[in-house]
Chain A
Amino acid sequence: MSMLQGIAASQGIAIGKAHKIEDRKLTVTRRSIEDPAGEIGRFHNAIQDSLKELQQIFRKAKQELGDEEAQIFEAHMLVLQDPELAQGVEEKIKLELINAEAALDEISNQYIAMFEAMDNEYMKERAADIRDVSQRVLAHLLGVGYQSASFHEPVVIVANDLTPSDTAQLDKQYVLGFVTDIGGRTSHSAIMARTMEIPAVVGLKHVSVEIQDGDLVVLDGSEGKVIINPSSADLQAYVKRREEFLLQKQELLQLVNEPSITQDGRRVELAANIGTPQDLPGVIQNGAEGIGLFRTEFLYMNRSALPDEEEQFQAYKEAASGMNGKPVIIRTLDIGGDKELPYLNLEKEMNPFLGYRAIRLCLDQQDLFKIQLRAILRASKYGKIKIMYPMISTVQEVRQANSILDEVKQELAAKQIPFDPSIEVGIMVEIPASAMIADILAKEVDFFSIGTNDLIQYTMACDRMNEKISYLYQPYHPAILRLIKQVIDAAHRENKWAGMCGEMAGDPIAAPILLGLGLDEFSMSPSSILQIRKFVKGVKYEDMKQLALEALGLGTQEEIKALVQQRMRLEA
């Protein structure tokens, strides 16, 4: 038996027989031929066969993985139908009188080499796409087929690498999990594995050599471990852990439609953060009670001009109606800092995080802001939308934003365009200054949402992208907890509610303290919701209040963390 440590790519435990997918470096022999037309015909047949496969994969990916993942295969189809590629291959066959395999291999290698030599990461990735496509055509020419091996029993897939098309074709019925030599948490295959909920460990270096077909393999996708031919004791332990994992998953799924309410009756709202309306299925599957943060940046990014009102309206409407009357908090444009919009031609700044961004930019470029507000208001008719301004640091900013909102409302009313006249308006509290004057701000708004990622960065004066000082990025630092408490208390004194839409809201260590501090709404990535709901249902609010009080009296993040861990163990 041996144990390997890799990168935990997709959680869960798989136990089963190894099935190796050999590296698909097909061997091509160069042969002289006498019938170039025949070879060209074979080549085109292989293209057609490959195209049919890719269309199938594209449809499957679209259905199971979503539009974004499926786009890869659309690009693959374009490569496959590339006239230059076809012409190059045909000419080579005619001029050199060689077989189609060799001609294709040589031409595609030229392209692969060209893209690999580019100094741009994106272009380098295209080399992998061309390789994936040309190997598929080669396989058809060689008559070996490119379809992922078919299995009739459950297996653990072992490979050097899995291409996007390999991963999309994995049959969930038989694939228990997969392990690969290369890849990281954000590689295509890892992302797909998580979407498909198949346990996976990647980045294992030599796993495809160390494992033999038929070996018994245990993979722990939560910890990134792989055990080859485990001892019977280990095997038993993992069989048990697997059952526990599945049981937990089952248990969590049963909480999908349950309210998030503590044993002594305090109800909180567990909401989801989303980037596009396409995230809605995951939000609903995980039982979110609302959208706590709809980041609208995606509408503005990766394009060459501002999105118009209609396009924005459609996206907001889709989210509002998709949530069926549950609250959807739309954050107005939060651009600047590390998020740039090239077409706005903003000046480079020395300190972009302290610069011209978010609400500051919107109050300056009011036309842009008004278009967004108009789109949000129009969509408010289709559900329960709330508006949230990011990066507020002064009372004036809130008033100015609200007066622009009023203008837009009046314009709509004058044109008899319907909207929700009592739409709630809140702010993100993510600058220490606004946390300090939360009592004053609370009089101006309907709610607060604490943005912890920036709040921590600004409070600790610590750039969260800078690895050298990452030790200072401390979510449980007493200063952060005290600011959070101040914000929640200020909201409650004005009978307003306070939520949180930063990473912290879905953090099992932070949640007990936040609950105890009286946080009303927790907004997080959809996949964390059920776990936090389980926690909320299992504790008493009074106990968490006590815990939060104790935590606030401690001096360091480590002590606070230890306190929570110890107390939660006792609770369990």
Chain B
Amino acid sequence: MLEKSLTIQLAQGLHARPASEFVKAATSFQSEVHLSKQGKKVNAKSIMGLMSLAVKKGDQITLTVDGADESKAMAALETLLVEGNE
């Protein structure tokens, strides 16, 4: 299991398009992916769960991946959270 603390840089946070992109990316990995913010932890393969965190720019979040492809997943998802899919 890998865990990383990150500060969200995406201008719009994880609303709208970035949230969908993130879910699609997370779903492409076998590993379980979770995001937590202020003690609330959600399944990052769930669009509704993810949006319910209402992640905004500047928020501190923790990204957890657990599974066979965890290091690949961590690298890809971390980039997505920090830089967005541009």
What is A's interface to B at a CB cutoff of 8 Å? Answer: 71, 74-75, 78-79, 82-85, 111, 114-115, 118, 120, 122-123, 126, 130, 302-305, 307, 341-343
Contacts and interface: CB of A to CB of B under 8 A. Distances in A.
A326 to B, nearest CB: 31
B57 interface: yes
A126 B57 CA distance: 20
Contacts of A304: 9-12, 18, 83-84, 86
B48 interface: yes
B5 interface: no
Given A303-B86, A304-B10, A304-B86, A123 B54 contact: yes
Nearest to A80: B47
Interface string B29-49: 000000000000011011111
B11 A111 contact: no
Interface string B7-23: 00111100111101001
Nearest to B15: A122
Contact of B57 (A83, A84, A130, A342): A342
Contacts of A307: 86
Contacts of A341: 11
Interface of B: 9-12, 15-18, 20, 23-24, 42-43, 45-49, 51-52, 54, 57, 83-84, 86
Contacts of B52: 111, 114-115
Contacts of A85: 46, 48
A82 B47 CA distance: 6
- List 5 tightest A-B contacts by C-beta distance, closest first: A84-B46, A342-B11, A304-B84, A78-B47, A304-B10
Given A303-B86, A304-B83, 12 more contacts: A78-B24, A82-B48, A82-B49, A83-B45, A115-B51, A118-B54, A123-B15, A304-B12, A304-B84, A304-B86, A305-B83, A341-B11
A6 to B, nearest CB: 30
**Central interface residue in A71, A75, A114, A304, by most chain B CB within 10 Å:** A304
Contacts of A74: 20
A485 to B, nearest CB: 43
A343 B11 contact: yes
Given A83-B45, A303-B84, A305-B84, A123 B24 contact: no
Nearest to B84: A304
B47 A79 contact: yes
A139 to B, nearest CB: 20
Given A122-B15, A123-B51, A84 B43 contact: yes
A307 B23 CA distance: 23
Contacts, number: 61
Contacts of A118: 54
**Central interface residue in B16, B51, B83, by most chain A CB within 10 Å:** B51
A303 B9 CA distance: 10
Nearest to A311: B86
Given A126-B51, A342-B57, A78 B15 contact: no
Contacts of B9: 304
Contacts of B47: 75, 78-79, 82
A78 B16 CA distance: 12
B20 to A, nearest CB: 6
A303 B46 CA distance: 22
Contacts of B12: 302, 304, 342
A78 B11 contact: no
Nearest to A71: B17
**Central interface residue in B16, B17, B43, B46, by most chain A CB within 10 Å:** B46
A111 B48 contact: yes
Contacts of A126: 51
Nearest to B42: A84
A83 B51 CA distance: 14
A115 B42 CA distance: 15
A305 B86 contact: yes
A111 B52 CA distance: 9
8 contacts: A71-B17, A78-B23, A82-B46, A82-B47, A111-B48, A114-B52, A304-B9, A342-B12
Contact of A79 (B18, B48, B54): B48
A85 B48 CA distance: 8
Nearest to A130: B48
B8 to A, nearest CB: 9
A84 B49 contact: yes
Contacts of A302: 11-12, 17
Contacts of A130: 48
B47 to A, nearest CB: 4
Nearest to A301: B11
Contacts of A75: 20, 47
A84 B32 CA distance: 13
A83 B43 contact: yes
A126 B10 CA distance: 20
Contacts of B43: 83-84
Contacts of B86: 303-305, 307
Given A304-B9, A305-B83, A120 B54 contact: yes
Contacts of A114: 52
A122 B19 CA distance: 13
Contacts of B20: 74-75, 78
B49 to A, nearest CB: 5
Nearest to A344: B11
Contacts of A123: 15, 51, 54
B16 A122 contact: yes
A118 B18 CA distance: 19
